C-alpha cells in the first residue's frame, strides 16, 4: 500500500481536503474566471496561471498530509532510536517518496522548495542531535605536520639518488 494520498491510508480524505480552498466555492470560482476573461488580454494566460496555482495548492495540501503521516510514524520511534538509521529509514524514506511521487504525478517538479521545507523540518524536529555518520577527526597538529613534511623532504633525497645513479654510466640490467 502506498503511503501517499490516493494510494493508501489517506485515500479517505475528501476531495476538497486535497484540493484546498480552490474547489470550495465553485460559483465564486466561475465568477472569478469570468472576470479574468473580461479583464485579462489573453484568456489562455489566465487559465495557465489558475492551473499552476491549483497544482501548487494541491501539492501543498498533499505535502501536508505526507508530513502528518511521517509524524504519525515517527511517534512510534523512541528517543534513543532517533539516530538509528535502521529504525528511522522507513518513515524518512516514505516522507521523501510521498513528496517526490506527488510532485511527479502533478508535474510540479522535484526537488522543490516545499519538499525541501518538509525535509529540513524533519531534521530540525527529529534528527538535530544525531552525530554525522562516519565522523572523521583530524589528527593532532604534530602528526599532521610530520605527514606533510616527510614527503617534501623525501623528494630532494630521491632526486639526488636518481642523478647520482645516472652519472655512474653503467647500464643496469
pLDDT of residue 147: 87
Radius of gyration of the chain from its Cα atoms, rounded to whole angstroms: 30
Domain ranges across the chain:
52-127
Residue 99: asked if its preceding bond is cis (omega within 30°), the reply is no
pTM equals 0.53
What residues of the chain score a pLDDT lower than 70? 1-50, 133-136, 168-173
The alpha carbon of 12 is separated from its chain's Cα centroid by a whole number of angstroms, namely 27
Residue 101 is predicted with a pLDDT of 96
Q: What are the grid coordinates assigned to 116, written together?
A: 525541501
Total number of residues shown for the chain: 173
Q: What is the pLDDT of residue 169?
A: 61
24, 16 in Cβ contact below 8 A? yes
Question: According to the model, what pLDDT value does residue 48 have?
Answer: 59
What pLDDT, on a 0 to 100 scale, did the predictor assign at position 139?
79
Architecture of domain 52-127: Orthogonal Bundle (1.10)
Per-residue confidence (pLDDT) for residue 129, from 0 to 100: 86
The DSSP element (H or E) to which 119 belongs, if any, is: helix 113-126
Q: What is the pLDDT of residues 51-88, one digit of tens each?
A: 888 999 999 999 999 999 999 999 999 999 999 999 99
Amino acid at each position: 500500500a502506498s503511503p501517499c494520498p490516493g494510494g493508501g491510508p489517506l485515500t479517505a480524505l475528501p476531495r476538497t481536503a486535497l484540493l484546498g480552498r480552490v474547489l470550495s466555492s465553485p460559483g465564486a470560482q466561475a465568477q472569478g474566471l469570468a472576470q479574468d476573461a473580461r479583464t485579462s488580454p489573453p484568456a489562455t494566460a489566465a487559465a495557465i496561471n489558475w492551473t499552476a496555482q491549483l497544482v501548487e495548492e494541491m501539492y501543498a495540501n498533499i505535502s501536508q498530509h505526507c508530513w502528518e503521516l511521517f509524524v504519525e510514524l515517527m511517534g512510534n520511534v523512541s528517543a534513543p532510536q532517533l539516530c538509528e538509521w535502521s529504525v528511522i529509514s522507513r518513515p524518512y524514506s516514505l516522507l521523501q517518496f510521498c513528496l517526490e511521487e506527488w510532485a511527479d504525478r502533478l508535474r510540479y517538479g522535484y526537488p522543490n522548495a516545499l519538499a525541501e521545507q518538509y525535509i529540513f523540518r524533519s531534521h530540525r524536529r527529529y534528527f538535530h542531535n544525531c552525530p554525522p555518520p562516519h565522523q572523521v577527526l583530524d589528527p593532532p597538529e604534530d602528526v599532521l605536520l610530520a605527514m606533510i613534511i616527510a614527503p617534501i623532504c623525501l623528494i630532494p633525497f630521491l632526486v639526488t639518488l636518481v642523478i647520482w645513479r645516472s652519472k655512474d654510466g653503467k647500464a643496469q640490467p
